[in-house]
Amino acid sequence: SPLLRLKFIDEAMRSFAEKVFASEVKDEETRQEISPFDVEDICPISRQEMREHMILHESSAEKRKKRLFRMKTIALAVPVAQRSITRLSAIDEVISTSPLYQTVPDFQRVQITGDYASGVTVEDFEVVCKGLYRALCIREKYMQQSVQRFPRTPSQYLRAIEGEVWRASDIGPVFTPPVKDGQDPFETGNLPEDLGYHIQMKDGVVYIYGDKAAAERNEPKDLPYLSLEHFVDDMNFLLALIAQGPVKTYAHRRLKFLSSKFQVHEMLNEMEEIKELKNNPHRDFYNCRKVDTHIHAAACMNQKHLLRFIKKSYCVDADRVVYNANGKQLTLKQLFQQLNLHPYDLTVDSLDVHAGRQTFQRFDKFNDKYNPVGASELRDLYLKTENAINGEYFATIIKEVGSDLEDAKYQHAEPRLSIYGRSAEEWPKLASWFNNHRVYSPNMKWMIQVPRIYDVFRSKNFLPHFEKMLENIFVPVFEATINPQSHKELSVFLRHITGFDSVDDESKHSGHMFCTKSPKPKEWTSEKNPSYTYYLYYMYANILVLNNLRRQRGMNTFLFRPHCGEAGALTHLLTAFMTADNISHGLNLKKSPVLQYLYFLAQIPIAMSPLSNNSLFLEYAKNPLLDFHQKGLMVSLSTDDPMQFHYTKEALMEEYAIAAQVFKLSTCDMCEIARNSVLQCGLSHEEKAKFLGENYQEEGPQGNDIRKTNVAQIRMAYRYETWCYELNLIAEGLKAE
């Protein structure tokens, strides 16, 4: 039917999207709020206008009848795949027939019956459902293309809407299996052979050719490449969707309903959930697995740990040459004398690495906190991989943090190391540091962060244009993928990398709207920084090709997990919806009900760091973590920068403890958030199966092993049924006339 065929957007839609973009970013630096309905009781259409709107559209008896019939057919349904077509099955049927549902104790369900379409007319309801359906199709397409994750349940609903058969896909991310006992994590003996391919960057994207002659004939290998035109069309569609009145009304009301429904569920079933957990032997919050899904390597230790290490290094290495100042070599003792310091006199206060009141809304001041005692020399010595001692101190600190995690046993971390794109030598140098110092811990998975600071490098003339930065970031990785034998250290390092992150201050305003007319990366020669969307598009476009190539070679693939929605325009969250497997922060979702609802429907994981936000952008009590958790968005807790925000040795437990106290979280809430963190992270399939249960990839209560996760089956059933109910509403709205 024409409704289900995705069409390209016409010029009218494109110009509307441009107007929406302009309204989103105008006065961005001075305006506090982007959207008018942060206040709970305000609805996008005022009550009076809405009443008139409804009366006008509901005048004819026929329409009234049609709507009554439509809404009464909405029952809770879950997808059941059949050979001919994917059909939806009532929850009662599933409960009575599924053996896996028998593990869910009886609980009280909230059910709504009668004539209700979330405050929009039948016509508007159909428009809303079409829009949400297409938005989910867009995300599904970009996730599958790039070998990232899209949940099965929405896929089953999308196929049911299209009247097609849903088939389980085996195309998903590939992670390096855990190191076996006695195996060396740095071994280079089993590296694949050289493919002899030729690579060339064209319009900011790496193209792969069989050989140089094929490159001259412009015949690239058969790998998926991103179409800029299609991407911009999809982006414009989403821009228009999040600005449409009826869609905003619908999403706003559904989210309010989700929040209220959870509160009623808790009121009715809290004691039953607690009973389930009490009857679960050996497992409690302390010994269920939790992952710090967002932490920066340069600040992964707390301030006391850093201070202790500085003092210890001075005791052991006072006469060691550790610093090169303009050709003059300094010992550690001379370096401290030059800074007029003695380590013995240092305290955590004089170290001054903690973010305080002065850093609120001041990202520039926050960045200065990376310099212990305000001295960049100490940062270079203790927190960098490239210096006179080849990053030895930094490696030792990280290994100590890893050792603490191993002692704690149930905590894992995903630290970010930086690749700036200033030079092509950064990758081999970082890989050499990683291998030489054997920076490995079974409780750590590594990620690469790319700071968005092209403007800094361009102004100092380190780079001629933006494409050079992209080349420096991606070409070495492609070379190591094609010919691992010639790049042994880098190939080993890449085995331990699970994803890419994009980082910087999001509140910096660019003003450039990414579109088909945007300058190509080679033409971007100005000193102005490209927009957030521009950065994300070109990172995603290269990761897309890279993942498909690595998957073909049987190598691990990478997830794209940018910082997003900490500040800045809503377009950041929209671009991440299209390109990112999961995001860090997501605070600005509270300003857009449509995006928030889409993040819920697609269950996009969000790593939230309320303590970090409290020092930088948003006071703790106003953090939307609790709100998101209640509505059913997939949130996890992370520390961001323990050096700047935390006081104790176990920073992640500190984060959980404070959230539990401030938001009055139950044990079940905390274990659910911990389970989300394991699902979100880059741990291998084998590790996740061990930590969460063999069926962890199933959605709903079937995928939960309470003996490992300590999450009540009642909670899992509630989450799954609520999710299916919302997806089923869209399916009902798109039923053929």
The CA-atom distances, in angstroms, between 373 and each of 280, 343, 369, 385, 523 are 49, 11, 9, 20, 41
User: Is the Cα torsion angle 418, 419, 425, 429 positive or negative in sign?
Assistant: positive
SS (H, E, C) 327-345: CEEEEHHHHHHHCCCCHHH
Residue of 198, 572, 585, 646 marked catalytic: 585
Cβ burial 630-651 (10 Å sphere, 16+ → b, else e): bbbbbbbbbbbbbbbbbeebbb
252 is catalytic: no
Burial of 205 (0-12, 13-18, 19+ CB in 10 A): buried
Rounded Cα–Cα distance for residues 528 and 514 (Å): 14
The amino acid that residue 429 corresponds to is K
Rounded Cα–Cα distance for residues 656 and 652 (Å): 6
Tokens representing residue 675 in the block: 């389970």
For residue 328, the Cα-to-chain-centroid distance in whole angstroms is: 44
The CA-atom distances, in angstroms, between 266 and each of 160, 625, 630 are 32, 17, 10
The amino acid that residue 641 corresponds to is D
Burial of 475 (0-12, 13-18, 19+ CB in 10 A): middle
- Taking residue 82's Cβ as centre, other Cβ atoms within 10 Å add up to 10
Rounded Cα–Cα distance for residues 95 and 133 (Å): 27
- Taking residue 222's Cβ as centre, other Cβ atoms within 10 Å add up to 7
DSSP states of 110-165 as a string?
P---SS--TT--HHHHHHHHHHHHHHHHHHHHHHHHTT----HHHHHHHHHHHT--
Q: Annotated catalytic sites, by residue?
A: 585
